[in-house]
Structure 1
């Protein structure tokens, strides 16, 4: 049982805790994780807290099944991460642009990876013909890609294969959008060696695939 304070009524109400994993489980897992790190490397957190200098900026999908550190085998501090629905690069997105500028100018990353995944719910929602709310505006770039590649996509008979191909094409389009941002253009003009890559992740096999759509100075 958990006690909640009803401010409007000015009384305490007892209710059952919502079903599902208790948040204290997460805190307990954190304690075990931190203790394990210290046992294996006593200076781990001291070293981690002293400096953040990752080589990679990861622009990925918000999907909870695609955690950048886990699927690349990288430790905390080794990859700077920005995630949004369908891993899109809106050139008016102040959040993304702030992350990009900080990664390029302060962290001085060398590689920017745009990573989407097959079976992306955002890509599917962009193309299912239904209204979903404000997310419809966010997903417009996916529909733009689909329209520009309409003939190519219609040649793919299997609906799942067609949607996965659209996921790939959208990733390639985001690489191109990144390449055209003033932040990247300015960095390249000043001689910074920054390379942009497009990858796609397979939920069914856990593998990353390089789409060979790199952009370089």
Structure 2
């Protein structure tokens, strides 16, 4: 009988051998991992504190960073000066506007049909035909109204008849004649009701809006 076999036990329950089994305590990995995490946190806090002390002794603090990173306020520059005169001349009635109607598109017949309709609305049509070389097939908008300084008010009146048209003042022109250059975006003349609304806007154009650009806050010294 082995010394490990209790008294009275035998047979298949007999324990043999001459060495005691070694009983090891369970490994505590959880505590080890928690200790490692705590050490890392402590080291991180220590490093952060050291960095703050470095900034303080060098005359910097977190307030400077926040001041520099503050959102920017927009600074508005003055509104652009309009191309027309400061005081707009009163717009004439259609009977007081003499115009030339030119077709600047590849489509045929637009000059005549447009001139006929404008004549029905009371405008005086001097002539119609293809646009001069400087404008032929170079007008992308619905219409370009060209006039000299003396015809600026008449040009605005003519522009009310074509939605999306723009007025161009040629300083070299001395007459009051207005040239209506029909562009590629042209489809039809504005309805009389829409033309009347456009006339109100053209007679009292809104002032141009100022352009705004962001500007940084001045740095605050501590």
> Please, what TM-score do these two structures have when normalized by structure 1?
0.22
Larger Cα Rg: Structure 1 or Structure 2?
2
> Please, what TM-score do these two structures have when normalized by structure 2?
0.22
